[in-house]
Amino acid sequence: MSRHFARAAESGPPPLVPRGHWWTLASVLPRLWPAGRRDLHTRVVVAMVALIGAKAVTVYVPFLYKEAVDRLSPETAAAAAVIVPVALIVAYGVGRILMVALAQLRDAVFAKVGQNAVRELAVETFRHLHALSLRFHLERRTGGLSRVIERGTKGIDFLLRFSLFNIVPTIIELILVCIILAYAFDIWYAVVTAVTVIVYMIFTFAVTEWRTRFRRQMNDLDTEANTKAVDSLLNYETVKYFGNEDHEARRFDRSMAGYEHAAVKTTTSLSLLNTGQTLIFTAGLAALMLMAAQGVATGILTVGSFVMVNAYLIQLYQPLNLLGTVYREIRQALIDMETMFDLLQVPPEISDAADARSLDVRGGELVFENVGFFYDPDRRILDDVSFRVPAGRTLAIVGPSGAGKSTISRILYRFYDIAEGSVRIDGQDIRGVTQASLRAAIGMVPQDTVLFNDTIRYNIRYGRPDASDAEVEEAARLAQIAGFIERLPKGYDTRVGERGLKLSGGEKQRVAIARTILKNPPILLLDEATSALDTHTEKEIQTALKGISENRTTLIIAHRLSTVIDADEILVLEQGRVMERGRHDDLLAKGGIYAAMWDRQREADAARQKLETMPASDREPEPIVEPAPAEPLIAADSGYP
């Protein structure tokens, strides 16, 4: 067997290994300059020019302020005092407008670049999640994965906006201000300014780190209180049955008391942060004002110089005032982004071979040859399973729960790769063809049909998204659900609710059948398609299934033996091995495993039918013995966590 095809079935998805903030930043930056997007390149250049221009104007505006103040001093000539300050004041006003205008231009121009990066990363992550194996998704919560995308994309948006347009410009402005103060006044002005800002930043970062645990605790308690409230309200009737309104209120109050305590700490620590920031900055500002005042008193500096020093510090204060919030949010954004980028590094467990080609379906013959599969080598799920389904014929696989029946369907769809043997369609090993072409050739009607929270039309059309309305309606007719749909007030535009919960089990199954009819695949896979339905609905669904399985290679995985009596061949699977095979009558005549299963199910079906036809007043309260539940997604004896 080829080494490429002998993939270890027991290997699970690798753990997510954090790679650090710098790696995360390095992963984001190339997306701000995507290849082949000259429009975005132009926007980046224009935004950077606007950023530099805004900072240049910002550091120049205090010079205009200084000159205007100096011209208004008593020593200035009367004529100059009237004419020159007017021009300087107008220039000062224009400068202030340009500061804001250039900053807004920068944000507006760069918005498309940032949002394009966010969208591409979100779509890339979404596609990657669909490319990962079924094993990966069984181990992780779907809601958690969606939150990874949501938080990661929000983190990128926040990082771009505040890092590029808040932190970086503030650092640039600080450097320019220090250079200007050192050049125009004295090096000590630059030193005092730099020390003030550095002490301010150190204090802010330290207190923010300290406050973070209070904020986290407050958020956790808020989540706990909200969870208890929602849980209690969802179980409104149960609360009323037991008269436990006061009990529920006390539980909620305990959570809210903890939240109250944490919220008080959060607020008081914020007051400490704001007070400390003000003290540090005011001390630095006062020191510079004293130095400038001394210069004015000795005649070295003008009053305008005194005003200019104050203007520079005040301009720096506004972005620095947001530093604590920005720092905390940037740290959280980096963590969220790391989680998303780490997720992108998880390799798909099942991938197309480098030389994979499209599946060429000529008739649809399906062959399993000596197939072995396991999650743990010590506990085999399938052991030397072989069978052949000729093109256009039907094979059924039956057996107790945990026998490995549904594992066969997942192997056929290549959700997992086998460890031994081969699976071929028309002579082509499925590991040597593309997954897209393989899955396009197979139609699936599962036991538990899960629908999208959309319209009936959308859910049927999902079988072939480019189908016309007429084709959708024809598929519904063939699935024997058109009459039901047409009686609904909104017809095909009726929404089915979350996971299709507004429809009954039989109605959902008919939608699944219509969807498969629309797909029109050469190979049909029916996985416990009627085991969860009542007798009457089961018969109707069976009629629809017989219609769509005509002239198609059909593989039926079933628990109810009554659904497979017409199959061309029946395989009895037990503990991952084929124990019996043959047609229905032949297997009954053998008096083996299949015959024993048949007798048990006939007794259970007879009891169930009797119960269904019996008047409600005559029914016994004792439970009726039902067939064993459908096989779980992963066999119970698999040893897989």
Q: Are strands 553-557 and 394-398 parallel, antiparallel or unpaired?
A: parallel
pLDDT in tens, 243-272: 788 888 888 888 888 888 888 888 888 888
Q: What pLDDT, on the 0 to 100 scale, is given for residue 640?
A: 32
Q: Determine what percent of the chain is predicted with pLDDT higher than 90.
A: 5
Q: State whether 361 and 414 are in the same domain.
A: yes
User: What pLDDT, in 10s, does the model give residues 77-125?
Assistant: 444 445 557 777 788 888 888 888 888 888 888 888 878 878 888 777 7
- Write out the two tokens for 34: 């995507």
pLDDT at residue 614 is higher than 50: yes
- The per-residue DSSP string of 160-185 comes to IIIIIIIIHHHHHHHHHHHHHHHHHT
Residue 323 lies in a domain: no
- Does residue 490 sit in the same domain as residue 606? no
Residues 361 and 470 in one domain: no
**Span 24-50, mean pLDDT?**
79
Average per-residue pLDDT in the chain? 78
**Domain boundary at 520, 542, 558, which?**
520
Averaged pLDDT, 129-150: 65
Has residue 311 been placed in a domain? no
CA distance 422 to 603: 39
On whether residue 420 sits in a domain, the answer given is: yes
> The domain containing residue 59 runs over which residues?
17-178+331-345
Query: DSSP letters of 220-266?
Result: HHHHHHHHHHHHHHHTHHHHHHHT-HHHHHHHHHHHHHHHHHHHHHH
* Domain stops at, among 457, 490, 520: 520
CA distances from 595 to 394, 435, 582, 589 (A): 20, 38, 12, 8
The CATH number of whichever domain residue 547 belongs to comes to 3.40.50.300
Q: Cβ distance 582 to 621 under 8 Å?
A: no
Residues 401 and 360 reside in one and the same domain: yes
Q: Percentage of residues in the chain with pLDDT exceeding 70?
A: 81
In angstroms, the Cα distances linking 619 to 15, 431, 534, 577, 608 are 54, 54, 17, 41, 11
Q: Is residue 324 part of a domain?
A: no
589 within some domain = yes
Domain closes at, from 474, 499, 520: 520
The three-state DSSP-derived secondary structure of 480-509 is CCHHHHHHCCCHHHCECCHHHCCCCHHHHH
For residue 24, pLDDT over 70 is answered with no
Domain of 121, CATH number, reads 1.20.1560.10
Residue 326 lies in a domain: no
Q: Based on the domain organization, do 32 and 6 belong to the same domain?
A: no
**Residues in Cβ contact with 469 at an 8 Å cutoff, skipping those fewer than 6 apart:** 457, 492
In the chain, how many domains are there? 4
Query: What distance in Å separates the CA atoms of residue 239 and residue 69, rounded to the nearest whole number?
Result: 74
Q: What's the pLDDT tens digit per position in 306-344?
A: 888 888 888 777 777 776 667 767 776 777 777 777 777
Closest by Cα among 134, 195, 194 to 416:
134
Token pair for 207:
């207190």
Identify the bridge partners of residue 420 per DSSP, sorted by sequence position. Answer: 372
Angle at 69 between CA 92 and CA 52, to 5 degrees: 35
Q: For residue 367, name the pLDDT band (cuts at 50, 70, 90).
A: very high
Kindly report the pTM of this predicted structure: 0.61
The pLDDT, as a whole number, for residue 19 is: 55
* Whether 270 and 139 share a structural domain: no
Q: Are residues 32 and 146 in the same domain?
A: yes
Distance CA 503, CA 600 (A): 31
> How many Å apart are CA 641 and CA 629, to the nearest integer?
20
Q: Cα separations (Å) of 562 from 335, 397, 405, 605?
A: 55, 13, 17, 10
The answer to whether residues 437 and 555 belong to one domain is yes
Asked if the structure places residue 139 within a domain, the reply is yes
In a domain, 403, yes or no: yes
pLDDT digits (tens, 9 = 90+) for 528-582: 755 555 566 666 667 767 777 778 898 988 877 877 888 889 999 888 888 989 9
Q: How confident is the model at residue 621 (pLDDT cuts 50, 70, 90)?
A: very low
Are 387 and 536 members of one domain?
yes
Asked if pLDDT for residue 22 goes beyond 60, the answer is yes
Same domain membership, residue 557 and residue 479: no
- Nearest to 513, CA basis, from 558, 474, 553, 487: 474
Answer yes or no: do 338 and 464 share one domain.
Answer: no
Task: Please indicate whether residue 218 or residue 200 has the higher confidence score (pLDDT).
Answer: 200
* pLDDT tier at 133, thresholds 50, 70, 90: low
User: Around 600, how many Cα atoms within 13 Å sit in the side-chain half-sphere?
Assistant: 15
Residues 124-150, mean pLDDT to the nearest whole number: 67
Residues 31 and 72 in one domain: yes
